[in-house]
């Protein structure tokens, strides 16, 4: 198949719409179920590149959750402990494969943003991963293949209309890419930059200690940023992104947005949140929204209005600001990547509040000395990669 006609483009009024390969080759994909649209394929192809690179860099299965051409989550297949299983709502009856662990992490980091996502897997989708995907609200999936039973599980989603795409893992695009904007064609070389631990050797701070896990997390953050709409910042820990700030005009707003998501991830592990008792039959989305509300500053309003009975079996105690701060103060060993240099030290100071101990950024600001000074004051190890990772 050399081209695939789509229902419409980004919006219903944008017709006609199709995908094809400029050089006349066959499309490297096969639609096994459903009818993916323009945005679905944008997410699918960006997600596939991300997970393929994550696996190449770490030698671990990888997964990504994409929404509107930026990842909501990305992770590699590191085993889940009991707390991770609980905050990701993993069914204890499912024997998790490494790929399933990667998916649980990618989906679970920011569940509100992952609602209605497009999933990308680096490896053949197995039954364990399909079972985790089945109850989630998702638009589709791209992978290099599917086990027969896994495919049947996925075909049952969305009343049989779930989008399932198989991609040829050997496909390589042309080295020059094109994009049309306002009838004008832009041409550039593809970003073929290989991101690996070798990019982390130029440590410019007094603290020069990077653990092996920190290196993995920094690589995950940088590869995730390579496929995140800029400006962007990514917090990572334990083999996964835990907070992604995408598409902001200001670097500090990226850092704050990603940091607030990382804080939510950390706060969800607090016993006070883990012990919440939900009413029977509550949907996953309502549960996720309720946890976010409970962690947030507006929960007092819900308690005052008495709306909690619709959500919880038992009225939860207020999660005070002081309790949250005390819990977050314990956070450490978080890695952070930035797709461009930090122009001010406020980014470092905000990152530190979310447990950041390791930073990877290009460097090159006129204020690099002030940023380094801030890291030294806080005991942060920072590597200058020398490489910018803008993505538009």
pTM, two decimals, is: 0.95
Quick one: what percent of the chain has pLDDT higher than 90?
87
Q: How confident is the model at residue 22 (pLDDT cuts 50, 70, 90)?
A: confident
Give the pLDDT of residue 304: 65
52, 67, 85, 131: the active-site residue: 67
User: Please, what sign has the CA dihedral across residues 143, 104, 162, 173?
Assistant: negative
**pLDDT tens, position by position, 25-83:** 899 999 999 999 999 999 999 999 999 999 999 999 999 999 999 999 999 999 999 99
The whole-angstrom separation of Cα 289 and Cα 295 is 10
Contact 336, 236 (CB under 8 A): yes
Tell me whether residue 389 is in a domain.
no
Tell me whether residue 246 is in a domain.
yes
251 vs 1, more confident: 251
Is the confidence at residue 373, as pLDDT, over 90? yes
Total number of domains constituting the chain: 3
Tell me whether residue 353 is in a domain.
yes
For residue 178, indicate whether it is catalytic.
no
Is the confidence at residue 303, as pLDDT, over 70? no
Do 138 and 261 fall into the same domain?
Answer: no
For residue 231, indicate whether it is catalytic.
yes
3-class DSSP assignment, residue 137: coil
Give the pLDDT of residue 91: 85
Do 41 and 95 fall into the same domain?
Answer: yes
163, 231, 264, 347: the active-site residue: 231
Do 116 and 253 fall into the same domain?
Answer: no
Which structural domain, as residue segments, surrounds residue 303?
A: 271-318
- How does 111-140 read in b/e, with b if 16+ C-beta sit within 10 Å? bebbbebbbbbbbbbbbbbbbbbeebebbb
Whose CA is closest to 307, among 299, 296, 318? 299
For residue 253, indicate whether it is catalytic.
no
Average pLDDT over the chain, rounded to an integer: 94
Tell me whether residue 4 is in a domain.
no
Mean pLDDT, range 350-378, rounded to an integer: 96
User: CATH number, domain at 378?
Assistant: 3.40.140.20
Tell me whether residue 116 is in a domain.
yes
Quick one: what percent of the chain has pLDDT higher than 70?
98
Do 256 and 358 fall into the same domain?
Answer: yes
Mean pLDDT, range 280-292, rounded to an integer: 89
Give the pLDDT of residue 302: 66
2, 321, 366, 392: the active-site residue: 392
Secondary-structure percent of the chain, ordered helix, strand, coil, rounded to 5: 40, 20, 40
Whose CA is closest to 74, among 294, 195, 221? 221
**pLDDT tens, position by position, 94-128:** 999 999 999 999 999 999 999 999 999 999 999 99
Contact 140, 48 (CB under 8 A): no
The whole-angstrom separation of Cα 289 and Cα 286 is 5
User: CATH number, domain at 289?
Assistant: 1.10.287
Give the pLDDT of residue 318: 86
Lowest mean per-residue pLDDT among 73-82, 212-221, 280-289? 280-289
For residue 22, indicate whether it is catalytic.
no
Do 101 and 213 fall into the same domain?
Answer: no
Q: How confident is the model at residue 315 (pLDDT cuts 50, 70, 90)?
A: confident
**pLDDT tens, position by position, 121-148:** 999 999 999 999 999 999 999 999 999 9
Tell me whether residue 348 is in a domain.
yes
Do 153 and 288 fall into the same domain?
Answer: no
Mean pLDDT, range 345-361, rounded to an integer: 97
Give the pLDDT of residue 316: 87
Residue 277 vs residues 24, 132, 271: alpha-carbon distances, Å? 56, 22, 12
Tell me whether residue 210 is in a domain.
yes
Give the pLDDT of residue 272: 92
Q: How confident is the model at residue 300 (pLDDT cuts 50, 70, 90)?
A: low
Do 206 and 337 fall into the same domain?
Answer: yes
Mean pLDDT, range 331-346, rounded to an integer: 95
């Amino acid at each position: 198949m050399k081209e695939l006609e789509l229902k419409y483009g980004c919006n219903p009024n944008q017709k006609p719409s199709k995908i094809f390969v400029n050089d006349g080759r066959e499309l490297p994909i096969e639609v096994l179920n459903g009818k993916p649209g323009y945005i679905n394929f944008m997410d699918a192809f960006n997600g596939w590149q991300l997970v393929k690179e994550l696996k190449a860099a770490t030698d671990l299965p990888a997964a990504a959750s994409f929404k509107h051409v930026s990842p909501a989550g990305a992770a590699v297949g590191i085993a889940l402990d009991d707390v991770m299983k609980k905050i990701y709502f993993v069914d204890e009856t499912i024997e998790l494969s490494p790929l399933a662990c990667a998916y649980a992490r990618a989906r679970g980091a920011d569940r509100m943003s992952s609602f209605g996502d497009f999933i990308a897997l680096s490896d053949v989708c197995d039954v364990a991963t399909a079972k985790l995907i089945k109850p989630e609200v998702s638009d589709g999936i791209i992978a290099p293949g599917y086990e027969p039973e896994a495919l049947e599980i996925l075909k049952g989603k969305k009343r049989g209309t779930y989008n399932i795409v198989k991609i040829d893992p050997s496909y390589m695009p042309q080295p020059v890419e094109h994009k049309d904007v306002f009838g004008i064609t832009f041409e550039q070389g593809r970003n073929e930059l290989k991101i690996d631990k070798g990019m982390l050797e130029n440590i410019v701070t007094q603290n020069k200690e990077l653990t092996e896990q920190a290196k993995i997390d920094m690589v995950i953050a940088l590869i995730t940023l390579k496929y995140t709409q800029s400006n962007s910042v990514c917090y990572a820990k334990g083999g996964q992104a835990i907070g992604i700030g995408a598409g902001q005009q200001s670097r500090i707003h990226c850092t704050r947005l990603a940091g607030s998501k990382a804080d939510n991830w950390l706060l969800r592990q607090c016993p006070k949140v883990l012990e919440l008792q939900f009413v029977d039959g509550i949907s996953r989305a309502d549960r996720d929204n309720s946890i976010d509300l409970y962690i947030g500053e507006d929960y007092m309003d819900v308690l005052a209005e008495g709306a909690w009975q619709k959500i919880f079996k038992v009225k939860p105690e207020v999660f005070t600001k002081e309790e949250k701060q005390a819990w977050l103060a314990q956070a450490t060993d978080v890695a952070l990547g930035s797709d461009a240099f930090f122009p001010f030290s406020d980014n470092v100071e905000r990152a530190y509040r979310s447990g950041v101990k390791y930073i990877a950024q290009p460097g090159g600001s006129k204020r690099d000395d002030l940023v380094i000074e801030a890291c030294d004051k806080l005991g942060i190890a920072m590597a200058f990669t020398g490489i910018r990772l803008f993505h538009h």
